[in-house]
Structure 1
Amino acid sequence: MVQQEAVIVKNATKSYGKGQSVLNGLNMTVSRGSIYGLLGASGCGKTTLLSCVVGVRYLDSGEIWVLGGNPGSKGSGIPGPRVGYMPQEISLVGEFSVNDAFYYFGRINGLDDEEIETRQRFFSDLLQLPPADRLVKNMSGGQQRRVSFAVALIHKPELLILDEPTVGLDPILRENIWNYLIQITQQEGITVLITTHYIEETKDAHKIGLMRCGKLLAESAPQKLLERFQCSFLEEAFLKLCEAQNNTLNNEAERFKMEDASSNVLCQTEYEQTRAISEYKEVSKRQISRLKIFKALLAKNGLQYLRYYSGLIFAVLFPIIQILVFIMAIGDDPKDLKIGVVNDEAGTCGYGSNLGNVWNDEITCHFGNLSCRFLHNFDDSIATQEYYDTVSEASQAIQNGKLSGLMYFNQNFSETLQKRIEEGTFTEDSDLLASEIQVFLDMGDRQIGLFLQIKLFERFLEIYEDIMKDCKYSPKLADPPIRFEDPIFGTTDLNYADYVTPTYMLTVIFFLATTVSTALIITDRSEGVWNRSVVQGVKAEDILLSHVLIQSISIAIHTAMIVLIFFPIWGLECKGSIFTVIVLTFLVGFCGLMHGFIISVMCKNHTMANYCSAGSFFPLIVTSGCIWPVEGMPEGLRWFSYTLPTTLPSISLRGIIYKGYSISESQVYIGFLLSTGWILCSFMVTILGVRSKSS
């Protein structure tokens, strides 16, 4: 009966980028119930080969058979619990305790809690593991590696793949590990495929493969290899094989390799013919409930979230700080402004003692020093008044940045204003000009200039109306020939903060969620936890969905905080349904979460992800209507803006808050539709991105 092989690799080729060949026609055979030592320098392709064996990556060409099936094919059980995998990196969650690591890997491999506890006690004694409550991030490198080794073995896999498991361990512990590996291969029939830098420690392996430049230079039992090359140490044999490969003159190594390769091909042919259906039956018995795996993922992500204390502080304090800064910084009238006054009629008005005169002799109304009345009522609530002797002197102060504007009163201001009222259309142009308060503003700062312009005009109308009352004229004479009635929506006293608030609310929650999710997948991948979980049969979709559910809690907290601060605390009045506001805000936060996942999938590291996140923030906030209405954009840019995740929802939110619209209004439900569409499309793009990373 032909001995069945655990792993067969035929003519394997794998390249990265253009012409960067990692595996180059490699052939390898690993027998069941044996220890196979894969040796080679860093960069020779060992890790890539192992990732293909466990089904995380795929060959460009060639074939791999593992435990009777092709990795990744239906019913093969690989990726899955049939294999135990310890990557070269630690590949553990830093927020895990020893206990958490055992429970996570035990549960995703189908063990119940009692089995996990039993295995944990065994490995704690065997490997001298740190205390069960010690966090991984607080362990030494050697302790982390021991825990990583233990969790790879917890479920007693048929095939155990170990990538540099003994790096950094003391010699006694390395010997204990090798003794245990020999024991499980002999007593339990487990197959071990191990890579190591310590070439001499593989003397206890049943077979070793010497790998260089993507090929196996030789594959044989260690003792047989030493005899073949008449060496005392495996390192010497490896050096001779390297020389033979370099010089291509020594055919001994090639002949030896071909002899082993021919026997391997024979084994492969017979093995392929006798791949047993019973093996697939064995796999079906070991299939694990997807729900159980998902619960383990939720527990893992929850622990990461709760034990990442700086992240929790950020999640709670950052939105509060952002909103409070907005409330204090946006919308209030500018303060500490200065405006120059040049009054040729009454000078400094006695610095407030001269308030002007208005009297009526029952025939006509008379004005005296009326400029002082205007100046007194303008007061410092708009801007602090500073007196100058000439217009040129005040203009120079504006040019030097000392003033925001100046007001000029002609020496005949009161007299000509009286003529203007009495003579109407017969008033001369010179008198009309002299009756005006001439205001020169610094419009280099447009917002301050517009503020002064509006406030001075409004205050002038109020004062002028009072003057008409003192003259016993109709106050309506002071009204301009246009009247703004009570608005249909909103109030006349809404300020810029009221306009910005709906968009700001959605922008804040969008980028809070983006900031959090941007790092999640990158962190899982960089720590190696993602691939290690996938090797054990965890679906990428389940990992992503578990992150989504855990982070949804964060979005719900942010939504509650934003709504609470803006409405009950700040006093923003919502004329529509507050529940609709909450739902829409949560949906936009969810859009931000998915936006961050796309960035996390597409970027290789945190630095690039942060660049992408910050780079997307500024165009989004500029085109969302937060700073300026979208109606002010060119038509093409406006339509592009409508497709962004915050523009239409902001218009919807403004309609709910200020107009009292319900979700049945098109202006409202279109924001809900856009948000839902963004979430679904982003989720699909993320899934496709995750899958493409595995190729």
Structure 2
Amino acid sequence: MVQQKAVIVRNAIKRYGKNLVFDGLNMTVSRGSIYGLLGASGCGKTTLLSCVVGIRYFDSGEVWVLGGNPGSKGSGIPGPQVGYMPQEISLVGEFTTSGALYYFGRINGLGDKEIETRQRFFSELLQLPPANRLVKNMSGGQQRRVSLAAAMIHKPELLILDEPTVGLDPILRENIWAYMIQITQEEDITVLITTHYIEETKDANKIGLMRCGKMLAELAPQKLLEQFQCSSLEETFLKLCKAQDNTVSLNDVQESKVEDTGSDVSYQNQYEQAATLEYKSVSKRQVSRFKRFTALLAKNGNQFLRFYGGLVYAILFPIIQISVFIIAIGKDPKGLKIGVVNNEAGNCDYGSNCGNVWNDEITCHFNNLSCRFLHDFSDSIATQEYYDDIYEANYAIQNGKLNGLMYFSQNFSESLQIRMEDATMAKDSDLLASQIQVFLDMGDMQIGLHLQKKLFYRFLEIYEDIMRDCKYSPKLADPPIRFKKPVYGSIDLNYADFLAPSYMLILIFCLASSVSTSVIITDRLEGVWNRSIVQGVRTNEILLSHIIIQSIIIVVHTTMIMLLYFSIWGLESKGSIFDVIILTFLMGFCGLMYGFVISIMWTNYTMAHYSSTGSFLALILLSGCIWPIEGTPKVLRWISYMLPTTLPSISMRGIIYKGYSVSEEQVYIGFIIVIGWTLFFFIVAILGIRWKSS
């Protein structure tokens, strides 16, 4: 009976592009032993370990770990049977020492009391930093010791350590090796370790020497020294490297000198023996999904709450955005200037001339009505600047000094009297002279339209006063079209009222997506994602735990939006405020799922944030937020309707300004769209995670 093996690799081939990492590599690790894997930096040690734990895969070849292929039912990987310490620290920066050990202990099935006991032991053995110190505030050596403790906390059957002693002092390295020798002898634990310090592997049961994609030799350290008649393992490794170089230079015509040494690990014999091995499936420790999930929730919650910059952004940024909207949008423009050329009364004696209107019971007489129109001309409309010549004022407009120009003809009042008293007999010259001629700078359309509206209503207001002074009905001043009270909304709504419903939904969508965009990327870059997967955590559990934590932020965002818009700004909803809250939350949740899709799609922050920002601009432009979608071309309009924010924005306007309930088609179609997009993003996220993990 051949001794039971913990890890067996046969004929492994691995390429990265055109680079060949492994070329028929073989490795055998016996149970209850320490196996030291040695090789130059970049020779593929880390890649080999990642293939052993199932993070990466060989292009061809076979691997057995604890009785089965990694990922299969018979193997202990993924699961708590293995303890894995990658070369990188692979810990969340917001972990404390205690938090890191509790997280990895819980996902491997340990109870809190057991974790506490083992934490005390490893704190003394590894000289761990204080329990409440954050990983991001530790030195490199302290981080590595915490990472090592996290791998060993649950006493796995197989311990895989990638350069755990780098940067540690010699005494601590000796303590670690003494502990590994103890657990292999007393608890039948297997240790597979890589290290920069070749000589420290003298205490290993077997060492494997890797170079150029092949295993040069697998022997006990003492046997290697005796066989090659060397005084140090470094000298032995150097001889093996030279032997391999000689073999390559002969184009493989001669056999490797390594194989000529009579090593007891001839790969051909090993491969033949592999067929006779009885692979005994390990007894898997059962870890409840609930325990893993609660550990993930605690980890994600601490990660978010201790990332103070992100926390401030998530809470303060929406307050700033909404406050800026409330303060900056919809107010009347101030500081405008309008030129006045009054050929009737000049500068109206700087406001002392207000014009005259009198009725001699036969007819009504006007004098200097231009001054009446200009008197008390509020600066909220525009500041008046008088000019003697219309061409001079027009030149000032061209130079950007004025926003517009009003011109009164010399006989403005008399012509207006003729127009009013006997319009049928009025000459064209009288009709033209009775007009206030206005020239606006429409290069800034919104300013121009604002002045146009204000001047028009100013004229109607003064004209009604003139009718009263003439003892005529003020209704004579009304234009022959009258806009009655609107069926929905108010006639005095401004541009901010038009923007508000769409802006609320787009804002919460983009806030949620920006918060979740970097979540998965962070886990991957910090290495905690792969490390958790190796310990048996499932990808859908990681995603769901992030969704739950981030949903709390959506609740906070929704609450702030409701308070700022409805309580502080005074926006009134004609419909159910509950419907408004639910639609806002659902839109935030949709943005959250979209952010997860981006986070899964990209592997770096730059591309993720480019995607998020680009999406925000597209939503602003195409969802009817800044301009009605009826003003876009038909094809673009249908694209707009397919966006996740367009129809829900229409639904929100229906609730707020029309008082519609969810039973109305205009409202429930928005709910259907946002739920549909949420489900779509969720499915894409699940499929994306599985594809990335395969």
Structure 1 length as normaliser, TM-score? 0.96
CA distance in 2, matches of 1:144, 1:158: 24
Is this contact kept in 2: 1:158–1:190, CA < 8 A?
yes
Match of 1:14 in 2: 14
Match of 1:239 in 2: 238
1:109-120 counterparts in 2 under 5 A? 109-120=108-119
Question: Which string of whole-angstrom CA distances, capped at 9 and with x for unpartnered residues, describes residues 216-259 of structure 1?
Answer: 22222222223333322222332333333344137212555795
Is this contact kept in 1: 2:11–2:62, CA < 8 A?
yes
1:606-625 counterparts in 2 under 5 A? 606-625=605-624
Is this contact kept in 1: 2:21–2:213, CA < 8 A?
yes
CA distance in 2, matches of 1:574, 1:161: 61
Quote the offset at 1:291 in angstroms. 0.9
CA distance in 2, matches of 1:634, 1:232: 83
Match of 1:42 in 2: 41
Match of 2:279 in 1: 275
5+ unaligned residues in a row in structure 1: which ranges?
none
Is this contact kept in 2: 1:219–1:260, CA < 8 A?
no
Question: Which string of whole-angstrom CA distances, capped at 9 and with x for unpartnered residues, describes residues 514-533 of structure 1?
Answer: 22111211111111111111
User: Which one-letter code corresponds to 1:194 in the other structure?
Assistant: I
Is this contact kept in 2: 1:57–1:694, CA < 8 A?
no
Match of 1:81 in 2: 80
Quote the offset at 1:426 in angstroms. 2.9
Question: Which string of whole-angstrom CA distances, capped at 9 and with x for unpartnered residues, describes residues 22-81 of structure 1?
Answer: 333222111111111111223222222211211222222222111101111134331000
1:541-580 counterparts in 2 under 5 A? 541-580=540-579
CA distance in 2, matches of 1:516, 1:482: 51
Asked if residue 394 in structure 1 is aligned to residue 393 in structure 2, the reply is: yes
Match of 1:538 in 2: 537
Q: 1:436 to 1:298 in 2, by over 3 A?
A: same
Is this contact kept in 1: 2:654–2:660, CA < 8 A?
yes
Match of 1:582 in 2: 581
CA RMSD of aligned residues (A): 1.6
User: Which one-letter code corresponds to 2:309 in the other structure?
Assistant: S
Match of 1:23, SS state, is strand
Q: 1:184 to 1:591 in 2, by over 3 A?
A: same
Match of 1:382, SS state, is coil
Match of 1:216, SS state, is strand
Q: Structure 1 residues 553-562 or 515-524, which shifts more?
A: 515-524
Is this contact kept in 1: 2:219–2:265, CA < 8 A?
no
Match of 1:312, SS state, is helix
Match of 2:480, SS state, is coil
CA distance in 2, matches of 1:635, 1:219: 72
Is this contact kept in 1: 2:218–2:265, CA < 8 A?
no
Aligned residues: 687
Match of 2:2, SS state, is coil
Question: Which string of whole-angstrom CA distances, capped at 9 and with x for unpartnered residues, describes residues 509-557 of structure 1?
Answer: 1122122111211111111111111110000110111011011111101
Match of 1:135 in 2: 134
CA distance in 2, matches of 1:202, 1:81: 26
User: Which one-letter code corresponds to 1:473 in the other structure?
Assistant: Y
Match of 2:332 in 1: 333
Q: 1:684 to 1:48 in 2, by over 3 A?
A: farther
CA distance in 2, matches of 1:255, 1:634: 80
1:277-676 counterparts in 2 under 5 A? 279-280=281-282, 282-283=283-284, 286-676=285-675
Q: Structure 1 residues 120-129 or 50-59, which shifts more?
A: 50-59
Quote the offset at 1:260 in angstroms. 2.1
Q: 1:429 to 1:314 in 2, by over 3 A?
A: same
User: Which one-letter code corresponds to 1:8 in the other structure?
Assistant: I
Structure 2 length as normaliser, TM-score? 0.96
Question: Which string of whole-angstrom CA distances, capped at 9 and with x for unpartnered residues, describes residues 331-379 of structure 1?
Answer: 0000010000000000001111111111112222111101111111543
CA distance in 2, matches of 1:8, 1:54: 12
Question: Which string of whole-angstrom CA distances, capped at 9 and with x for unpartnered residues, describes residues 624-648 of structure 1?
Answer: 2111111111112111112222212
Question: Which string of whole-angstrom CA distances, capped at 9 and with x for unpartnered residues, describes residues 465-485 of structure 1?
Answer: 221222222322222222111
Match of 2:422, SS state, is helix
Asked if residue 55 in structure 1 is aligned to residue 54 in structure 2, the reply is: yes
Asked if residue 253 in structure 1 is aligned to residue 258 in structure 2, the reply is: yes
Is this contact kept in 1: 2:244–2:257, CA < 8 A?
no
Is this contact kept in 1: 2:97–2:135, CA < 8 A?
yes
CA distance in 2, matches of 1:676, 1:74: 37
Match of 2:120 in 1: 121
Is this contact kept in 2: 1:378–1:456, CA < 8 A?
no
Is this contact kept in 2: 1:56–1:79, CA < 8 A?
no
CA distance in 1, matches of 2:179, 2:404: 87
Asked if residue 2 in structure 1 is aligned to residue 7 in structure 2, the reply is: no
Match of 2:276, SS state, is helix
Question: Which string of whole-angstrom CA distances, capped at 9 and with x for unpartnered residues, describes residues 409-465 of structure 1?
Answer: 000111111111122233221111111100000000110001001111111112112
Match of 2:146, SS state, is helix
CA distance in 1, matches of 2:23, 2:107: 34
Is this contact kept in 2: 1:109–1:288, CA < 8 A?
yes
Quote the offset at 1:321 in angstroms. 1.1
Is this contact kept in 1: 2:65–2:76, CA < 8 A?
no
Match of 2:177, SS state, is helix
Match of 1:583, SS state, is helix
Q: 1:673 to 1:75 in 2, by over 3 A?
A: farther
Is this contact kept in 2: 1:377–1:463, CA < 8 A?
no
Identity fraction in percent: 74
Match of 1:380, SS state, is coil
User: Which one-letter code corresponds to 2:276 in the other structure?
Assistant: E
Is this contact kept in 1: 2:93–2:134, CA < 8 A?
yes
Q: Structure 1 residues 83-92 or 24-33, which shifts more?
A: 24-33
Match of 1:160, SS state, is strand
User: Which one-letter code corresponds to 1:529 in the other structure?
Assistant: V
CA distance in 2, matches of 1:565, 1:244: 76
User: Which one-letter code corresponds to 1:362 in the other structure?
Assistant: E
Asked if residue 266 in structure 1 is aligned to residue 266 in structure 2, the reply is: no
Match of 2:683 in 1: 684
Match of 1:366, SS state, is strand
User: Which one-letter code corresponds to 1:3 in the other structure?
Assistant: Q
Match of 1:10, SS state, is strand
